[in-house]
Structure 1
Amino acid sequence: MRFLIIYGTGEGQTRKIARYMEEVLEDAGFKASVADVTEEPPQPHKYDAVLIGSSVHTHRYHDGVKNYISTYKEELNHKPSAFFSVCMAVASKIEDEHEEAHRIAKEFLENTGWTPTETWHIAGALKYTQYDYFKRLVMRMIAAKQGGATDTDQDYEYTDWEAVKETVLHFAANNQPVSTH
């Protein structure tokens, strides 16, 4: 089974997650290709399943991801596919933040016309050392509200790697092509 993994990222956590998904799939015996949406990613027709991910920044997903999905939604809607939304709100201790993350993803998918087989919500990372002064200040305030780390001298990763692995392997197992032998 051949997987295509497309991603859009801000500070690189979504890329890291996509690369990890590739590693997990290949370790399980599948073929996987990863592509940054900004670098002319391949069309989905050569693949058996497609995973598309984007980080959420100011309640929006990466424009390139939106454009890719809009361009290929008919094809994506006819094969196993998953959308992985990378969002700090997933790590929040506040239930309303979780609901907001789910709402943002739902509206995004409705607006693009893509109905993936599955939607996954994955906690991202606070990359304080990569932010400019203003963004660092804003992200620190958000993190404080959500019960997250506020020491801006270091970065914090909230991604649950074991959950990502289990989710990807479960998806692969449940979407195997049916053998006609």
Structure 2
Amino acid sequence: MKKILLLHSSREGQTVKILRYIEHELAKTHQCEFINLHSMPEINFTLYDAIMIGSSIHYGHLNKKLYKFIKNNLSALNKSQAAFFCVNLTARKLEKDTPETNFYMKKFLSLSPWKPKLLDVFAGALYYPRYRFVDQVMIQFIMKITGGETDRTKEVEYTNWDRVKQLSINFSAL
């Protein structure tokens, strides 16, 4: 049975939710280990047949710990069968939901020395009632500018779960 390492860099929880879904799909045929990348774990990459990292965008940026983790583990990541996905609200728009068309994925690829074998982008979720007031107002402003949901009483999940399942299938085939 293949052993898979699933790493996440998440702020609001949607990236974890997506990675848990992928874990559930992969666990049918693989042994999975799930780790928070923010803990900056020491990893023996030789124990794993493949690695997937999921990371969220927060106010326009991936977490700096993601880039530090990549820098510290670049050689091992480059030798691994690896996948990366990012989660952002921009991807809720069909013309911005692929690695080739998503600004944040293109930015990641330009800033990161790591070039994973498999990439994807998923729309996140908007959980207004769970956010602090200041975050609600900031996100509401951004959503107004970009044509998104502005009702701060709503929770909206934009994630395309069929796409997430397809990534699980593609990753399993690496």
Alignment TM-score, normalising by the size of structure 1: 0.85
1:115-168 CA-partner distances (Å, limit 9, x unpaired): 100111000011211222221112112223333222211311111112101121
User: After the TM superposition, which of the residue ranges 64-73 and 137-146 deviates more from structure 2?
Assistant: 137-146
2:124 is aligned to: 124
Distance 2:101 2:53 in 1: 17
**In the alignment, structure 1 residue 65 sits paired with structure 2 residue 66:** yes
2:75 is aligned to: 74
Which 5+ residue runs of structure 2 have no aligned equivalent? none
**In the alignment, structure 1 residue 25 sits paired with structure 2 residue 26:** yes
Distance 1:86 1:102 in 2: 10
1:143 is aligned to: 143
User: After the TM superposition, which of the residue ranges 157-166 and 40-49 deviates more from structure 2?
Assistant: 40-49
Structure with the bigger percentage of strand: 2
8 Å Cα contact 2:98-2:120 kept in structure 1: no
Cα distance change of structure 1 residues 97 and 164 upon mapping to structure 2, 3 Å threshold? closer
* Aligned residue type for 1:34: F
Deviation at 1:103, TM superposition (A): 3.4
Which 5+ residue runs of structure 1 have no aligned equivalent? 176-181
Superposed CA RMSD: 2.2
2:106 is aligned to: 106
8 Å Cα contact 1:122-1:160 kept in structure 2: yes
Distance 1:160 1:97 in 2: 10
SS at 1:113's partner residue?
A: coil
**In the alignment, structure 1 residue 3 sits paired with structure 2 residue 4:** yes
Cα distance change of structure 1 residues 97 and 80 upon mapping to structure 2, 3 Å threshold? closer
8 Å Cα contact 2:56-2:86 kept in structure 1: yes
1:8-43 CA-partner distances (Å, limit 9, x unpaired): 11111111111111111002x111111111234351
SS at 2:38's partner residue?
A: coil
2:155 is aligned to: 155
1:22-79 CA-partner distances (Å, limit 9, x unpaired): 111002x111111111234351331111111111112210122211111111111112
Alignment coverage as a number of residue pairs: 172
